[in-house]
Chains A and B, each alone.
Chain A
C-alpha cells in the first residue's frame, strides 16, 4: 500500500479565486489520479497524472479549469481555478500500485465555494 497525504484538508473559498491542492506519497509511484466526489455521489475521475508528461483529462474537465502538476514521482498538485459554488466538493488524489492496479486514496480535501 502507500501512505498519502493531502493539503489542505478543507477550505472555504470565495467565488472567482483559485485553490491548489497538494498530494504527497511516501513512495515513488508512476500514476497519480485526481477525483471529485460530491456529497452522496460516487467518484468522478478528473485526470490522470503521469510524471514527466501532461495530465490526461476526462471528458468534461479541461486543463484551464483544473491545471495539474506532477514534478516528481511522489508529488502532484491540482488547482481549481476561477471557482464557482458548483466546484464545492471533495477532491481526492489516489495512486496506483502496479501489482494488480490497486488504487489507494488520500484523505481528501473538502472544498466549499461561497
Chain B
C-alpha cells in the first residue's frame, strides 16, 4: 500500500518564526511532490510543487525534497497568523495517481 505520512500536529509557532512541515512517502518511484494549504471550510490550494532533489523557493515558502530518504518538507519563513491552516503533502506515484497525506495543522501565534 502506497502511503504518505505527516505529523497531524498541531504545530504551533510564534509569529515571525520558521515553520517546518515534514512528510515521508513509501513509493520510491514517486516523481512529483506537492504542498497544499487548506483553510478551515475551504478547499485545498496548491502552494508549492517540486520534482527534483534539493530546495525550491517561492517567496516565504521553501520546499525540500530528498528522494533517497523519501522525505519532503515545507519551510515557511517569517510565519504569519494568516499562515494558520492545515498543510497537505501529496505525492504523484505515476500516471494520474496522487496520494494525499492526512495533513498537519499549523497555528501561528501573534
Residues of chain A touching chain B, judged by Cβ–Cβ distance below 8 Å, are 1, 31, 41-43, 48, 92, 96, 100-108
Contacts and interface: CB of A to CB of B under 8 A. Distances in A.
B49 A102 contact: yes
Interface of B: 31-32, 34, 42-46, 49, 51, 88, 90, 92, 96, 98, 100-103
B43 A106 contact: yes
Contacts of A48: 96
Contacts, number: 43
B34 A42 contact: no
A73 B96 CA distance: 16
B43 A107 contact: yes
Contacts of A106: 43
25 contacts: A1-B46, A41-B102, A42-B88, A42-B100, A42-B101, A42-B102, A42-B103, A43-B88, A92-B43, A96-B96, A100-B51, A101-B31, A101-B32, A101-B92, A101-B96, A101-B98, A102-B46, A103-B34, A103-B98, A105-B43, A105-B45, A106-B43, A107-B42, A108-B42, A108-B43
Contacts of B46: 1, 102-104
